[in-house]
Structure 1
């Protein structure tokens, strides 16, 4: 049986003969390149590849680039056969890199990365959207992803030649596979030393278009990873991205942040510090935008995007304050608790003034509209108040001063538009009264005076009793 190198050498010599004799009018020899592609599927052939075979592939790609540019410039001839050749070259190179650092380095050293990027740029800028163009484009990106995998030198080379133009072309492309493969290359090359490039105002569009592309292609996992495993480590970059997004894309970004926050895996010190800074930033965003949610009370504004942003901001803040790692920084966040209480007061008042999504209901007309953006909003406001007051005396006292306790009690009934509102109200009262006699006394006095509905307290598992001349709030033991 012939040695692996003899197989490659024979095919290489045939391919070299064609390349040397290739003149104008000679058709590309795709089959010989395909034979090398097949050989590179096996580790033994990849490990025995000689530099001269990559040098030959460079010559073929250079010839291909020239032919595609020339034929695309005229309507007299088609570059289809040359596109097929470039596709096969990319497949061949892609295979050669699998678990083979040596070939990755050789490919970089002979200049194949630069030539590939140049050819892909031509493909990306072409108005021709034929399948041949798309397949060549996709395979070229797959090759760049493979040559960059685990290889810092190749990552740097690709970044230097592809950023930002080529990545922008991929992220804004109409083909989902192009966007997916392009984001794969972007993620692979986007090391810590590259993040400063993204924050330059002229390059920020790359980061912004990651979110826009994910909004369009939500199944593209590489786009999600760029946000959750890269962007969220850099709060200043995230702030710039958020400020540059449309309301619709902000909703997408907030949902990706929610995905990261909901992941209960352990965070490193630096990653935790970054998320805490992001939490403070989102708190400020909620405070500045919260009034927009009132637009959802209108019958024709159930999907008003700025208001939906406020809803998602609240969702993220609730999730963050459910985790002790983020809770402390938000409990001391200036103005947040005041804003949440005021927002609850506003939505409660709007719900009483007319029948709308903020109106407490047991009917099928509103309660059945579980797709409305504001469903659960008041419940989440109460949840956030509860979290912010958890074992925090200053915030407990602030709720007292803001006259928030009667407001919470007035929102503790079962409400079809706010699932689990009663449970969150009970949790809020528990946190407000824990080791806080003044708040306990206030609720007891409210019950005696009438404003606090005894049945509402009972629904929360509480009752008021008199001890030594004082009213005391206590839990009802259920048998």
Structure 2
């Protein structure tokens, strides 16, 4: 088998200076055969081929002879991906020789098969090599294209690539720290979709780190991103992640302080103010596209989930004077669809099995308005 492999590589090398159109099918079939049989070759033979110019041969066919033949170019990349399997040194050499060409192809091609193969080989070459992986993850332009293209069914490796990012907090934050603010928001919005449809691919560590770095470490509440809050709200309702929220009183305290801050500011004419006109949801996209759309709803949803069957968290809601706020939130706000419903669910979860909270609500008329001294100064 290996002798045949060598012979086919040699035949490709001999043709690079005299190849004709009549040879096109033969060369494509040769690369197809190499693709199908390369994973069985041993490391010594692989290295010998690399030392004798394999990458240079493949580059010439990829860039010159098959410049207009996307199928043959895809087969060449598939061959190199299989050839590099389980060999870090081979992966590094192919990455060094082909990375720029693959990158340009992914950014410029309109051919779905070639696009999918391009991101596939970048994924396979770098997935187990931290140095190469970082180069790919820090490529802002490449990452943006993955975000644009992952929903296309024929580009399955864009989704696989994102699966790998959402399963590793280190990879996630390598990307997050190297992209602009808008692309950061795009990444977080895509993660929201993953939590709805592919939650098994999202690691607990990613959600935990987002909670710590993008919420707990944020000094000013105005800097908390809508999408971060939405991720926390969604994940708090998923059993896989729920324990990360249930037993962290500091996290709940900050959520409570955020609700107080937003609720107080909503009484004035600002980004958190309520919109009572239902028709605004249907007359245009201004409300739906608002920078704080659903922000307060997500806070209340998060409180509701954290307090479910958790006596300590229920008690904190009472002692931190949150129940009167939730009662006030049982009203319609077009800027926060389902705020009323989430407030009712939150109150149910806070009262369930908690006699002290039930007594508090039963005597709410005697308590009067929220104590102004209990509010947090920001």
Task: Give the TM-score normalised by structure 1.
Answer: 0.62
1:345 aligned residue (260, 269, 287): 260
The change in CA–CA distance for 1:387 and 1:55 in structure 2 (over 3 A counts) is same
Aligned-partner SS, 1:160: helix
Higher relative contact order (CA 8 A, sep 6+): 2
Deviation for aligned residue 1:282: 0.7
Task: Give the TM-score normalised by structure 2.
Answer: 0.76
Counterpart check, 1:58 vs 2:27? no
Aligned counterparts of 1:168 and 1:54: Cα–Cα separation in 2? 23
The change in CA–CA distance for 1:248 and 1:141 in structure 2 (over 3 A counts) is farther
In the alignment of these two chains, the number of paired residues is 357
Counterpart check, 1:395 vs 2:313? yes
Deviation for aligned residue 1:51: 4.2
The change in CA–CA distance for 1:401 and 1:96 in structure 2 (over 3 A counts) is same
1:161 aligned residue (88, 93, 112): 93
Q: Which residue of 1 aligns with 2:190?
A: 256
Deviation for aligned residue 1:436: 1.6
CA contact 1:101–1:151 (8 Å) conserved in 2: no
Aligned-partner SS, 1:415: coil
Aligned counterparts of 1:291 and 1:362: Cα–Cα separation in 2? 30
Q: Which residue of 2 aligns with 1:406?
A: 324
Deviations 1:151-204 (A, max 9, x none): 725x6465222336743553463335465432111223344x3236535xxx36
Deviations 1:65-97 (A, max 9, x none): xxxxxxxxxxxxxxxx98x79986763344224
The change in CA–CA distance for 1:451 and 1:176 in structure 2 (over 3 A counts) is farther
CA contact 2:301–2:343 (8 Å) conserved in 1: yes
Aligned-partner SS, 1:352: coil
Aligned counterparts of 2:22 and 2:181: Cα–Cα separation in 1? 44
Deviation for aligned residue 1:104: 6.4
**Structure 2 runs not aligned, ≥5 long:** 371-378
Aligned counterparts of 1:367 and 1:409: Cα–Cα separation in 2? 27
Aligned counterparts of 1:103 and 1:393: Cα–Cα separation in 2? 57
- Larger of the two Rg values belongs to structure: 1
Deviation for aligned residue 1:439: 1.6
CA contact 1:283–1:333 (8 Å) conserved in 2: no
Deviation for aligned residue 1:346: 2.5
Matches within 5 A, 1:33-52: 51-52=6-7
Matches within 5 A, 1:214-253: 214-218=146-150, 219=152, 220-228=155-163, 230-253=164-187
Aligned counterparts of 1:248 and 1:85: Cα–Cα separation in 2? 50
Q: Which residue of 1 aligns with 2:77?
A: 144
Q: Which residue of 2 aligns with 1:188?
A: 124
